[in-house]
Structures are given as C-alpha cells and as structure tokens.
Amino acid sequence: MAVKLKLKRVGRTHCPHYRLTVMDSRTRRDGRALEELGTYDPDNEDPGAQVRFNLERVRHWLSRGARPTDTVRHLLRRQGILTR
C-alpha cells in the first residue's frame, strides 16, 4: 500500500482550511485518513501560525516511506523538515 501525506480541505466556501493527513494514495482528497498530523490555514497573516504540524509524527511517516504531495513538500520545506 502506497501512503501519501495529503492536505484535506475543510472550512466553508471562500474560507479554506486544510488538515495534513496520512492517506492511501488511491483515496480521494476528502476521504478516510489513516492519521491527521496537523493543520494549515493559508488565510492567517502570521506565517508562524499558518502551519501547525505534529513534527514527530510527520518524521515518523516520512521514515516509513510516506510520500508528500508537492504542496505538502513545499510546506515541510518551509518548516525545515525536508531539504532539497
């Protein structure tokens, strides 16, 4: 089973919020998650409060072979978890 780190959209229309989740790669975007690892609020003006991830669990899943999507990879680089 291929596992991915994906963003699941929550929130109302024109006010997006996202949850960082661990999902089977075949699962649809808002489908069942194996685990939720944090939140991302793109509308928050404070860059430090936009991204809130459980870094220990993110590292755990990455060490197990989970592949982040492009957007998640960018957010993880901003947090200093991933390097180029």
Residues in the chain, how many? Answer: 84
Residue 69, domain member (yes or no): yes
1-52 pLDDT tens trace: 699 999 999 999 999 999 999 999 999 988 999 999 999 999 988 888 899 9
Q: Are 73 and 82 in contact (CB under 8 A)?
A: yes
The pLDDT, as a whole number, for residue 83 is: 72
Residue 43, domain member (yes or no): yes
Any idea what the CATH number is for the domain that residue 15 is in? 3.30.1320.10
Q: Domain tally for the chain?
A: 1
Q: pLDDT-based confidence at 67, cuts 50/70/90?
A: very high
Q: Are 17 and 11 in contact (CB under 8 A)?
A: yes
- For 4, 13, 14, the CA distances from 37, given in Å and listed in that order, are 12, 23, 23
Q: Are strands 67-68 and 51-53 parallel, antiparallel or unpaired?
A: unpaired
Residue 79: how many other CB atoms lie within 10 Å? 13
List the domain range (segments joined by +) for residue 31: 3-79
pTM of the model: 0.87
